[in-house]
Amino acid sequence: MKKPFDIDLAIKLISKAVRPFPKAAMFELAEAGFNSPFEQLVACMISIRTYDEVSLPTACRLLERARTPKQMSQLTVAQIDALINTSTFHERKAIQIHELAKRVLDEFDGDLPCDSDVLRSFSGVGPKCANLVLGIACEQPYISVDIHVHRVTNRWGYVKASAPEKTMVALEAALPRKHWIDINSLLVPFGKHICTGNLPKCSTCPVLDMCQQVGVTGQR
Ligand code: SF4
């Protein structure tokens, strides 16, 4: 018989469990000082469909060369592409990053606003990246749901949704606001190392006694 799911306790236990693992890339980047909305958005665009282990050094390489929209717009698309060529779909991303820099310069005087509609109006930016930027760089309460947050919260039985965007809506209704930003930073390493896609490590999981293990057919 499982205990009722206690989200405050789960967050506390998971915070401790993920301490040995690297932080989610965007949070690590922010701690390294690349924490402006523009830098975070560029890094998130680079991270799409690319492993953190690759996207983090790739984003650092580009941002060390160009940290502001003005500096970025002075690079050519080919130069941006050469700097991010370890990222998946780098050619398309180089065009999108160059366009982003130019639009921020032309339309917002070089200062990317903390505005969800504006962020999502750029080519290559979906709700996951927009919300990460709003949460990390703007310190606004937004939930960013990637595949790890989606998988883990559905396995818990905390939400029931068929896709990350639906999980985001469900979490907005269920999750206390104080956890909206942290949920991503905790569940990305938790999903990578403990509640893994295949064979999650349930036997040593700190929330086993309250997790419904929805859809889990094999475990370690
Ligand atoms: S008990 Fe298993 S399914 Fe549930 S959160 Fe832990 S690892 Fe994931």
Mean pLDDT of 174-189: 93
Res 137 pLDDT > 90: yes
Residue 176's pLDDT is 96
Judge if the beta carbon of residue 199 lies within 6 A of ligand 1: no
pLDDT band at 1 (very low <50, low <70, confident <90, very high): confident
pLDDT (mean) for 34-48: 96
13 lines ligand 1 (CB under 6 A): no
The response to whether residue 200 sits with its C-beta less than 6 Å from ligand 1 reads yes
Which of 78, 137, 141, 139 is CA-nearest to residue 111? 137
**Ligand 1 atom closest to Cα of residue 219:** 2
| DSSP reduced 3-state for 140 | coil
Active site members: 128
Q: Any alpha helices (H) in 77-179, and if so which ranges? A: 77-83, 90-108, 116-120, 127-136, 147-156, 164-174
- pLDDT given at position 25: 87
User: At residue 24, does pLDDT exceed 90?
Assistant: no
Q: How far is the CA of 213 from the centre of ligand 1 (A)?
A: 6
Ligand 1 touching residue 191 (CB < 6 A) = no
Query: Could you please report the per-residue DSSP string of 16-42?
Result: HHTTTSPPPHHHHHHHTT--SHHHHHH
Q: Is 155 in the pocket of ligand 1 (CB under 6 A)?
A: yes
Section 13-39 average pLDDT: 93
Core vs surface per residue 69-96: b (16+ CB within 10 A) or e: beebbebeeebbbebbeebeebeebbeb
Once rounded to an integer, what is the mean pLDDT over residues 64-76?
98
What is the whole-number distance in angstroms between the Cα of residue 207 and the centre of ligand 1?
7
Could you tell me the distance, in angstroms and rounded to a whole number, from the CA of residue 52 to the centre of ligand 1?
22
178 has pLDDT over 90: yes
- Contact by Cβ (8 Å): 102, 72: no
**Residue-averaged pLDDT of the chain:** 95
Q: What local confidence, expressed as pLDDT, does residue 52 receive?
A: 87
Note the pLDDT of residue 168: 94
How many whole angstroms from 103 Cα to the centroid of ligand 1?
Answer: 43
Question: CB-based contacts of 207: which residues, under 8 Å, 6+ apart?
Answer: 10, 13, 14, 156
